[in-house]
């Protein structure tokens, strides 16, 4: 396998990590119109919960399912108790709150579990997949991200819950006047995003090791990917995540001292995406009658 194929495989695997984070960010943005800067920390806390269950004898898939359900409930509660009261607040108040939430959850994770990186089991097994440059775990991550990418797009397009999530984020008052229980719908959005984040965390941890700061880089690159592809479009956000992963691998492999260029590259993508296409590659600007 040549250099380019190896880089491609590595980039695709890294991109899957970013895509999973981007999907969670896109879901909460589509459902509430806000960016949850604490998304990564919520995912980390969920992953620690899954790890704790496995340490106490739970099989992987039982821990995985229980973590997703608990995270969904916790996410819905955070939506109701933290985000809902901010419905009329300024964007600055939202940013301050979510950054505060980030700090609180990060501190709690460190306090409860310490900062020592821990190994985390992969549900897909170890070793390369059928003689390719991809490991079985990397292939599993890519598959999960791709399936979620398509699934979420279909969810928003074809299900009533997806329709009500879009309506509640777009015009909450019009939704209320249509009999939509906006608070419940948005709590559902928070719960789903938290569950996706939890799944993402449990898939990312075997690749990065589990520690309270494990989602810092994935959140930054995932956000870059979501901005590049379109925050309001789950498909675009995930596509952007994969694209950033591939470019990240290319930068690391082909440029001199590429590792040092990873973060500037991601930030350059955020800026370029916002400058040239504010709604992202797959997003569309708000339509208006001329």
Partner 1 sequence: MLSIKSLSTGYGGARVLRGLDFALGAGECAIVVGPNGAGKTTLLRAVMQLVRTQGEIVFDGAALRGLAPEEIARAGIALAPQDGGFFPQMSVEDNLRVAAPRAQARARAYAFFPALAERRSQLAALLSGGERRMLVIARALALAPRLLLLDEASAGLAPRLAHDLFARIADWRAQDGFALLAVEQGPGLAALAGGRVYLMANGRLAPLAQATDDGALARLYFGV
Which residues of the shown chain bind partner 1 in the complex (CB under 8 A)?
160, 163-164, 166-167, 170-171, 173-182, 286-289
| CB-nearer residue toward partner 1: 154 or 271 | 154
- Please say whether the beta carbons of 42 and 197 come within 8 A: yes
| CB-nearer residue toward partner 1: 119 or 174 | 174
| CB-nearer residue toward partner 1: 165 or 251 | 165
| CB-nearer residue toward partner 1: 4 or 178 | 178
- The one-character DSSP state at 24 is H
Least CB distance to partner 1 at residue 288 (A): 6
Question: Collapsing DSSP states into helix, strand and coil, what is residue 279?
Answer: coil
Least CB distance to partner 1 at residue 64 (A): 33
Least CB distance to partner 1 at residue 233 (A): 12
> 């498909």: which residue's tokens?
235
Per-residue CA distances from 178 to 30, 80, 155, 159, 167 (Å): 19, 21, 21, 17, 10
Annotate 163-215 with DSSP letters as a single string: HHHHHHHH-HHHHHHTT--HHHHHHHHHHHHHHHHHHHHHHHHHHH-B-TTTT
Least CB distance to partner 1 at residue 163 (A): 6
């Amino acid at each position: 396998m040549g250099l380019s194929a190896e880089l491609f495989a590595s980039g695709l695997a890294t991109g899957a990590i970013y895509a999973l984070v981007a999907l969670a960010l896109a879901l909460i943005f589509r459902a509430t119109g806000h960016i949850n800067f604490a998304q990564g920390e919520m995912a980390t806390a969920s992953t620690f919960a899954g790890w704790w269950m496995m340490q106490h004898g739970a099989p992987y898939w039982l821990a995985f399912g229980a973590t997703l359900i608990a995270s969904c409930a916790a996410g819905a509660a955070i939506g109701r108790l933290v985000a809902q009261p901010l419905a009329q607040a300024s964007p600055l108040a939202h940013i301050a709150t979510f950054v505060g939430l980030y700090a609180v959850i990060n501190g709690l994770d460190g306090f409860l579990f310490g900062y020592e990186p821990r190994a985390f089991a992969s549900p897909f097994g170890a070793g390369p997949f059928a003689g390719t440059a991809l490991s079985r775990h990397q292939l599993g991550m890519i598959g999960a991200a791709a399936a979620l990418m398509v699934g979420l797009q279909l969810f928003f397009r074809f299900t009533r819950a997806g329709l009500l999530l879009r309506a509640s984020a777009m015009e909450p008052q019009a939704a209320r006047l249509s009999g939509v229980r906006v608070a419940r719908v948005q709590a559902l959005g928070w719960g789903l995003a938290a569950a996706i984040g939890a799944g993402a965390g449990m898939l990312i941890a075997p690749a990065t090791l589990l520690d309270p700061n494990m989602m810092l880089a994935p959140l930054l690159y995932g956000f870059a990917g979501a901005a590049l592809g379109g925050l309001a479009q789950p498909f675009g956000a995930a596509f952007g995540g994969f694209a950033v992963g591939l470019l990240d691998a290319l930068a690391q492999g082909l440029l001199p001292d590429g590792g040092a260029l990873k973060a500037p590259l991601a930030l350059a993508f955020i800026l370029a995406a916002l400058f040239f296409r504010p709604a992202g590659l797959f997003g569309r600007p708000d339509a208006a009658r001329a």
